[in-house]
């Protein structure tokens, strides 16, 4: 049994941390009360979790410097007509609805590359799929191409360094984005981005590994969405890769691999072919994360939803919206707009599932529809509005993607692409369990308790 003096000491520490969270950290009110509850209800455990997940010191120091460096780099490239957030035209887009066809197309483009290959993934497994991609990259590096591979430290914490050694031996460059240490488990680079020859780009939800090709025993079929781009949108994606690479070059690397900054060179932003298109899709590339002043992707999502007239379709593996996004969706549903939300019935993070179910349940009360995908796992990060505009990228519909992780999304103004995504959504509905408000209202008490607890701590997940 703890002594009274020890309990008094622990209580003082907890009170101190609660005051720190409230008055110094200055988080939004939901996150503040969630951390206060965690520290108060689980004194020692809450303190430990806060030290691992709750610290903002890295954001305040490291990412402020990154933001300043990015702005300086952006100012340099604006002279070349390159800028994130601008509408680009004459883009040709190919949609992939699962991993195998995307992976084959990527390997073909790597084989056809002429000068440079830039690859960035959150998760890069050391299995046969990862090894095949590394070998393909190593082959091109050995042939004299500029090949760079960047992976996230947390997403690849269980991937041995030896997996990437063939690329480095062949002269390719390798970078590890922020090694995971106790105070840096958050702030992950969640992007999945490839740029080839400055003229072809890949972006979406698919990482590198067997599960993303539907070869995982637990999840089975892996439903995802990824795109291949040519046209003006490739340039801001190239710029985003350079920004992230140079950030890694400025910080320590867990594997002690020397990473030098990329030079500012117009060669990465040559005039881009649009495959003969006179009028292609309009695409805006938007990134956000702890290094941006505002949650830019969230703001664009809300803007799209508020302008909706007929329909809002969402697919996301995690649906834990912030108050702003939740309110926009609720208003749309109350107005009679067809709001449909699809998420996995077989989640990889049950706690997130219970939190998400509580939000979907409330939105159903306003008129929205909820669909639980039952065929394998759905990992798409898509938003479709009125069969006219859509969004595809790496950001989930949750607070972590909006404010904690580094994300990139493509916002597309093209009716044909949007309708193709909506048609895929309707096909997926056949593989779903449709929720209804009557059944939801009769859910067991234990489910209600799970939802309530998960909802309370949802700002932290």
What pTM did the predictor assign? 0.87
CA distance 243 to 256: 20
Query: What per-residue confidence (pLDDT) applies to 24?
Result: 45
Give the mean pLDDT of 256-277: 71
Q: How confident is the model at residue 184 (pLDDT cuts 50, 70, 90)?
A: low
Average pLDDT of the chain to the nearest whole number: 86
Strand-pairing partners, residue 398, are: 320
Residue 282 among the catalytic residues: no
DSSP 72-89: HHHHHHHTTT--TTSEEE
In the block, residue with structure tokens 């309530």: 452
Residue 206 lies in a domain: yes
Query: What per-residue confidence (pLDDT) applies to 110?
Result: 98
Let me know whether 18 and 165 are in one domain.
Answer: no
Task: Report pLDDT digits (tens) over 353-385.
Answer: 999 999 999 999 999 999 999 999 999 999 999
Let me know whether 205 and 309 are in one domain.
Answer: no
Residue 286 lies in a domain: no
CA distance 257 to 272: 33
Question: Which one from 152, 197, 224, 244 is the annotated catalytic residue?
Answer: 197
CA distance 188 to 176: 11
Let me know whether 40 and 132 are in one domain.
Answer: no
Question: Which one from 59, 66, 102, 190 is the annotated catalytic residue?
Answer: 190
CA distance 298 to 402: 6
Residue of 278, 324, 262, 271 whose CA lies nearest to 298: 324
Let me know whether 204 and 343 are in one domain.
Answer: no
Q: What are phi and psi of 255, to 5 degrees?
A: -95, 10
Residue 143 lies in a domain: yes
365 is in which domain, residue-wise?
Answer: 296-460
Residue 349 among the catalytic residues: no
Give the mean pLDDT of 161-167: 96
Top-confidence residue, 313 or 461? 313
Let me know whether 208 and 123 are in one domain.
Answer: yes
Q: Is 279 exposed, middle or buried (0-12, 13-18, 19+ CB in 10 A)?
A: exposed
CA distance 458 to 274: 43
Task: Report pLDDT digits (tens) over 276-317.
Answer: 555 689 999 999 998 898 999 999 999 999 999 999 999 999
Q: 224: domain CATH number?
A: 3.30.870.10
Helix (H) / strand (E) containing 319: strand 319-320
Let me know whether 142 and 267 are in one domain.
Answer: yes
CA distances in angstroms from 338 to 305, 333, 367, 432, listed in the order given: 11, 7, 8, 17
Query: What per-residue confidence (pLDDT) applies to 22?
Result: 42
Is pLDDT of 17 > 70? no
Strand-pairing partners, residue 370, are: 341, 435
Query: What per-residue confidence (pLDDT) applies to 302?
Result: 98
In the block, residue with structure tokens 């449909």: 340
The answer to whether the beta carbons of residues 368 and 311 sit under 8 Å apart is no
The answer to whether the beta carbons of residues 188 and 405 sit under 8 Å apart is yes
DSSP 237-256: HHHHHHHHHHHHHTS--TT-
Let me know whether 206 and 317 are in one domain.
Answer: no
Top-confidence residue, 168 or 257? 168
Task: Report pLDDT digits (tens) over 220-261.
Answer: 999 999 999 999 999 999 999 999 999 998 876 555 677 889
Query: What per-residue confidence (pLDDT) applies to 212?
Result: 97
Query: What per-residue confidence (pLDDT) applies to 326?
Result: 96
Q: How confident is the model at residue 21 (pLDDT cuts 50, 70, 90)?
A: very low
Question: Which one from 66, 102, 381, 403 is the annotated catalytic residue?
Answer: 381
CA distances in angstroms from 37 to 6, 7, 125, 294, listed in the order given: 21, 18, 37, 27
Contacts of residue 242, defined as CB under 8 A and 6 or more positions apart, other chains included, come to 73, 262, 268
Cβ-based neighbour number of residue 242 at 10 Å: 23
The percent of residues in the chain predicted with pLDDT above 90, rounded, is: 61
Domain count, the chain: 3
Task: Report pLDDT digits (tens) over 107-159.
Answer: 999 999 999 999 999 999 999 999 999 999 999 999 999 999 999 999 999 99
Task: Report pLDDT digits (tens) over 48-97.
Answer: 555 555 555 555 667 777 887 888 877 777 665 667 788 998 899 999 99
CA distance 432 to 416: 24
Residue 112 lies in a domain: yes
Let me know whether 241 and 319 are in one domain.
Answer: no
What does the block give as tokens for 398? 């949750």
Helix (H) / strand (E) containing 10: helix 4-20
CA distance 129 to 84: 32
Task: Report pLDDT digits (tens) over 124-136.
Answer: 999 999 999 999 9
The answer to whether the beta carbons of residues 319 and 328 sit under 8 Å apart is no
Let me know whether 250 and 376 are in one domain.
Answer: no
Top-confidence residue, 85 or 26? 85
Residue 293 among the catalytic residues: no
Quickly list H helices, 59-190: 64-78, 99-112, 128-142, 165-169
Is pLDDT of 452 > 70? yes
Query: What per-residue confidence (pLDDT) applies to 211?
Result: 96
Q: How confident is the model at residue 26 (pLDDT cuts 50, 70, 90)?
A: very low
Helix pair angle (350-365, 323-334), 10° resolution: 30
Residue after which a domain boundary falls, among 225, 244, 279: 279
Query: What per-residue confidence (pLDDT) applies to 28?
Result: 55
Let me know whether 399 and 260 are in one domain.
Answer: no
Q: How confident is the model at residue 436 (pLDDT cuts 50, 70, 90)?
A: confident
Query: What per-residue confidence (pLDDT) applies to 72?
Result: 80
CA distance 196 to 230: 10
Let me know whether 348 and 201 are in one domain.
Answer: no
Residue 50 lies in a domain: yes
Residue 97 among the catalytic residues: no
Top-confidence residue, 33 or 194? 194
Residue 379 among the catalytic residues: yes
Question: Which one from 66, 173, 192, 409 is the annotated catalytic residue?
Answer: 192
Let me know whether 375 and 423 are in one domain.
Answer: yes
CA 206 remoteness from chain centre:
10
What does the block give as tokens for 35? 């951390």
Residue 190 among the catalytic residues: yes
């Amino acid at each position: 049994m703890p002594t009274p003096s020890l309990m008094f000491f622990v209580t003082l520490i907890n009170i101190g941390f609660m005051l720190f969270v409230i008055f110094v950290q200055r988080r939004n009110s939901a996150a503040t009360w969630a951390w206060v509850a965690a520290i108060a209800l689980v004194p020692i455990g809450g303190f430990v979790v806060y030290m691992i997940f709750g610290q903002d010191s890295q954001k305040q120091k490291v990412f402020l410097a990154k933001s300043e460096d990015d702005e300086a780099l952006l100012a340099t490239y604006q002279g070349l007509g390159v800028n994130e957030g601008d509408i680009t035209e004459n883009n040709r887009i190919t949609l992939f609805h699962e991993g195998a066809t995307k992976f084959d197309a990527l390997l073909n483009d790597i084989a056809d590359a002429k000068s440079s290959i830039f690859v960035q993934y959150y998760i890069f497994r050391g299995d046969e799929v990862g090894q095949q991609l590394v070998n393909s990259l190593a082959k091109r590096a050995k042939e004299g191409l500029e090949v760079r591979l960047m992976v996230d430290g947390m997403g690849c914490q269980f991937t041995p360094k030896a997996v990437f050694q063939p690329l480095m031996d062949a002269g390719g460059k390798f970078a590890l984005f922020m090694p995971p240490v106790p105070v840096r488990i958050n702030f992950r680079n969640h992007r999945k981005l490839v740029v080839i020859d400055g003229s072809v780009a890949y972006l979406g939800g698919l990482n590198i590994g067997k599960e993303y090709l539907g070869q995982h025993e637990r999840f089975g079929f892996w439903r995802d969405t990824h795109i291949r781009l040519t046209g003006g949108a490739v340039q801001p994606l190239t710029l985003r890769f350079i920004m992230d690479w140079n950030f890694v070059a400025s910080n320590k690397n867990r594997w002690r691999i020397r990473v030098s900054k990329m030079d500012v060179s117009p060669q990465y932003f040559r005039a881009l072919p649009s495959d003969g298109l006179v009028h292609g899709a309009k695409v805006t590339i938007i990134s956000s994360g702890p290094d941006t002043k505002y949650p830019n992707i969230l703001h664009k999502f809300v803007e799209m939803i508020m302008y909706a007239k007929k329909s809002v379709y969402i697919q996301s593996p995690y649906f834990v919206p912030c108050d702003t996004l939740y309110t926009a969706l609720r208003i749309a549903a109350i107005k009679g707009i067809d709001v449909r939300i699809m998420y996995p019935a077989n989640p990889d993070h049950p706690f997130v599932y219970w939190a998400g179910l509580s939000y979907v349940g409330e939105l159903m009360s306003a008129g929205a529809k909820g669909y639980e995908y039952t065929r394998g796992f759905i990992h798409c990060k898509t938003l479709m509005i009125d069969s006219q505009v859509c969004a595809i990228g790496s950001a989930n519909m949750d607070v972590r993607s909006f404010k904690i992780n580094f994300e990139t999304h493509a916002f597309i103004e093209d009716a044909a692409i949007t309708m193709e995504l909506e048609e895929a959504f309707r096909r997926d509905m056949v593989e779903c369990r449709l929720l209804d408000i009557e059944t939801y209202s009769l859910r067991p008490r234990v489910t209600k308790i799970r939802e309530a607890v998960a909802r309370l701590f949802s700002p932290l997940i």
